[in-house]
Amino acid sequence: MALLRFEALKTLSERPRLPVELPDFQVSKFFGENVFGPDQMRSALVPSVYNKVRQAIKNHEKIDETTADAVASAAKAWAMNKGVTHFTHWFQPLTGGTAEKHDSFFDALAGIEKFKGSELVQQEPDASSFPSGGIRSTFEARGYTAWDPTSPMFIYGRTLCIPTVFVSYTGETLDTKSPLLKALKAVDNAATKVCQLFDKDIQHVSASLGCEQEYFVVDKALFMARPDLVMSGRTVFGHSPARGQQMEDHYFGSIPSRVYDFMKDFEIESWKLGIPLRTRHNEVAPSQFEVAPLFEEVNVANDHNQLLMDVMTRVAERHNLRVLFMKNLLRA
């Protein structure tokens, strides 16, 4: 074990930096370029259809088939223009992460690229392996994902991702998004009634959230030498560090250069996805850091946080780093 650690230290000491440059020093030039948001919808849809979608989103109403067809066709054209080949319903099963099952726009039987409103609105991924393998028999494992139009579609890699809820065919919730949407609707209904006692014109009350994300960064070689980190993403064995949180030199200290490159890199990816990241700094424990966004509507903020953790994990790989989200000390 000790030998493995020395070898890991030697490997990491010889690693080159991966310098990262902003595509444009004005972030506003590329912020949200991979998001099919209200502006993109407005320019791609005829005004009557666009207004119908905005009204349905605002009032938590169902979007009819013709409107869904128009949105699907506009989203497909926008995405294909950016080199996208596949689409997926993007959901949050009870695994602590996100899930996706990609389908190609290309329909071999029709010989053309297709994306219908019905495919945007609902998909049927197998739910037998959620939240963990073998929990349901295949014959009763049908699950449905259903489009959540209150959170915008986005491009991730070469795939158009559609935020969705995930329920079983018996209507049971299988994800973390459906309970959140139900709670937000309940808060909206109750709070609006109270507000209307004072102002009859108030139609909706929405909640906002800006969740800071703390994380540890560890070199890939050191990570691979630690079976507990590999298996569980957190410290299971070890001893207290010689230099833990009792030292005050880390919090808000200068950011180590490899971590700084990593931060810049995932910030750029996140900005393109419309995630409003604002703040970065060293956290209190050794090798612990924090990133914080601006406040947004709760459902969108939550989707952005889920997406951010995925982006960070993928970008860390480019820098030969691993990122850990469990909030406990990394014991060496």
| Positions that interact with Mg ion (CB under 5 A) | 290
Residue 76, judged by CB atoms within 10 A of its CB (0-12, 13-18, 19+), counts as buried
Q: Compute the least distance from the CB of residue 59 to Mg ion, in Å.
A: 37
The residue (of 181 and 276) whose beta carbon lies closer to Mg ion is 276
Q: Compute the least distance from the CB of residue 217 to Mg ion, in Å.
A: 15
Per the listing, tokens 């158009």 go with: 160
Q: Specify whether the backbone of 87 is left (phi greater than 0), alpha (psi in -120 to 50) or beta.
A: beta
Q: Compute the least distance from the CB of residue 214 to Mg ion, in Å.
A: 5
CB 69 within 8 A of CB 87: no
CB 168 within 8 A of CB 178: no
What's the rounded Cα separation, in Å, for the pair 193 and 200? 9
Q: Compute the least distance from the CB of residue 231 to Mg ion, in Å.
A: 26
Q: Compute the least distance from the CB of residue 161 to Mg ion, in Å.
A: 28
The residue (of 284 and 332) whose beta carbon lies closer to Mg ion is 284
Q: Compute the least distance from the CB of residue 93 to Mg ion, in Å.
A: 28
The residue (of 113 and 290) whose beta carbon lies closer to Mg ion is 290
Q: Which amino acid type is present at position 84?
A: V
Closest to 211 in 3D by CA, of 275, 274, 302:
302
The residue (of 49 and 211) whose beta carbon lies closer to Mg ion is 211
Q: Compute the least distance from the CB of residue 289 to Mg ion, in Å.
A: 9
The residue (of 132 and 246) whose beta carbon lies closer to Mg ion is 246
The residue (of 114 and 281) whose beta carbon lies closer to Mg ion is 281
Strand 86-91 relative to strand 159-168, pairing: parallel
The residue (of 30 and 276) whose beta carbon lies closer to Mg ion is 276
Q: Compute the least distance from the CB of residue 271 to Mg ion, in Å.
A: 21
The residue (of 54 and 281) whose beta carbon lies closer to Mg ion is 281
Closest to 281 in 3D by CA, of 316, 249, 254:
254
What's the rounded Cα separation, in Å, for the pair 52 and 68? 10
In DSSP terms, 107 is beta-bridged to 112
Closest to 36 in 3D by CA, of 124, 146, 163:
163
- DSSP, collapsed to helix, strand or coil, labels residue 26 as coil
Residue nearest to Mg ion (CB): 290
The tokens describing 188, both together, are 């909206």
CB 272 within 8 A of CB 31: yes
